[in-house]
């Protein structure tokens, strides 16, 4: 059995099958890129994985256990952390307190939580911002805070939902470096991202989604040169090498 495995995931919203039979595997230690047009079901897949939405059909296995059907906090405790496409920090709290709120999941005492929060803030390169109020941060730092909050739950598998959207080229390089650093620390990652540079740079494997179904999967190069993916998503002008 794969480290992480989805089997025939289905999610209906009224008459719409937002996710319509999605199966894919992720190996331990790899970065799996999830790409596809807006509305193709990527965020919904994340919401199914972390139990935010109940599945209409299908099963999810992680690290030898069936996790579909578990409550969100149980799934987080099993070791799946995530960020949200729409960043939602606790705006009036400082960066450190935001991270502290997540660190309590893995801590028995406040001092243990503080230690974990400080360590995670440092690992994610946010120490100079730790006393700033989250609502005052520019977008790149808010996105980084999202990742930091997720990391404070000590995930084994991290789901990143468009954490590079809205970043300038320098910030993009910093985000790529952080994603690689997280993977190198032993965390398996599934990343939803529109910026192909990020997908092509960090992914070991890519799964392309269209209309709630898997359209293609393979190496980044294989998926980026797949005729169906070019037609549905990348466009004829996309060049994998460029
Ligand atoms: N909570 C919801 N209620 C109703 N429809 C939803 C909900 N969330 C997503 N959808 C619909 O499901 C489809 C897939 O959305 P989403 O997973 O957000 O796509 P993506 O992340 O790939 O852009 C879209 O048609 C969207 O409108
Ligand atoms: Mg989305």
Inter-residue contact 134 to 95 (CB < 8 Å):
yes
3-state secondary structure labels for all residues of 117-146: HHHHHHHCCCHHHCCCEHHHCCHHHHHHHH
- Tell me: pLDDT of 241 over 70: no
pLDDT at position 11 over 80? yes
Q: Is the pLDDT of residue 242 over 60?
A: no
Name the band, by pLDDT with cuts 50, 70 and 90, for residue 239: low
Backbone angles phi, psi at 95, to 5 degrees: -55, -50
Residue ranges near ligand 2 (ion) with Cβ within 5 Å: 42-43, 85
Q: Which CATH architecture group holds 4-86+155-234? A: 3-Layer(aba) Sandwich (3.40)
pLDDT tens column, 154-195: 999 999 999 999 999 999 999 999 999 999 999 999 999 999
Question: Cα 24 from chain centroid?
Answer: 15
The length of the chain, given as a count of residues: 242
Reported as a single tens digit per residue, the pLDDT across 65-123 is 999 999 999 999 999 999 987 767 688 899 999 999 999 999 999 999 999 999 999 99
Mean pLDDT of all residues belonging to the chain: 95
| Residue 43 CA to ligand 2 centre (angstroms) | 4
Beta bridge partners of 160: 191
Q: Which residues contact 116 (CB under 8 A, 6 or more apart)?
A: 103, 106, 107, 152, 154
The pLDDT of residue 186 is 98
Q: Ligand 1 centre and the CA of 102: distance in Å? A: 26
Q: Which ligand sits closest to the CA of 34?
A: 1
Pairing of strands 213-218, 205-210: antiparallel
């Amino acid at each position: 059995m794969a480290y992480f495995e989805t089997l025939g995931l289905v999610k209906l919203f009224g008459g719409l099958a937002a996710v319509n039979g999605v199966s894919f595997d992720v190996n331990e230690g790899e970065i799996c890129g999830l790409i596809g047009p807006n509305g193709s079901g990527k965020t919904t897949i994340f919401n199914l994985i972390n139990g935010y939405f109940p599945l209409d059909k299908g099963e999810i296995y992680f690290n030898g256990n069936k996790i579909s059907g578990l409550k969100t906090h149980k799934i987080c405790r099993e070791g799946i952390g995530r960020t949200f496409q729409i960043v939602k920090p606790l705006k009036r709290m400082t960066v450190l307190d935001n991270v502290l709120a997540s660190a309590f999941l893995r801590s028995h005492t406040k001092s243990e939580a503080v230690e974990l929060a400080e360590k995670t803030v440092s690992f994610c390169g946010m120490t100079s911002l730790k006393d700033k109020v989250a609502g005052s941060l520019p977008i790149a730092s808010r996105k980084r805070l999202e990742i930091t909050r997720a990391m404070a739950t000590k995930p084994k598998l991290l789901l990143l939902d468009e954490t590079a959207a809205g970043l300038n080229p320098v910030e993009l390089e910093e985000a790529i470096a952080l994603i690689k650093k997280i993977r190198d620390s032993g965390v398996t990652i599934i990343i939803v991202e529109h910026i192909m540079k990020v997908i092509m740079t960090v992914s070991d494997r890519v799964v392309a989604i269209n209309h709630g179904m898997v359209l293609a999967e393979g190496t980044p190069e294989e998926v980026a040169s797949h005729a169906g993916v070019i037609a549905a998503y990348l466009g004829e002008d996309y060049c994998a090498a460029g």
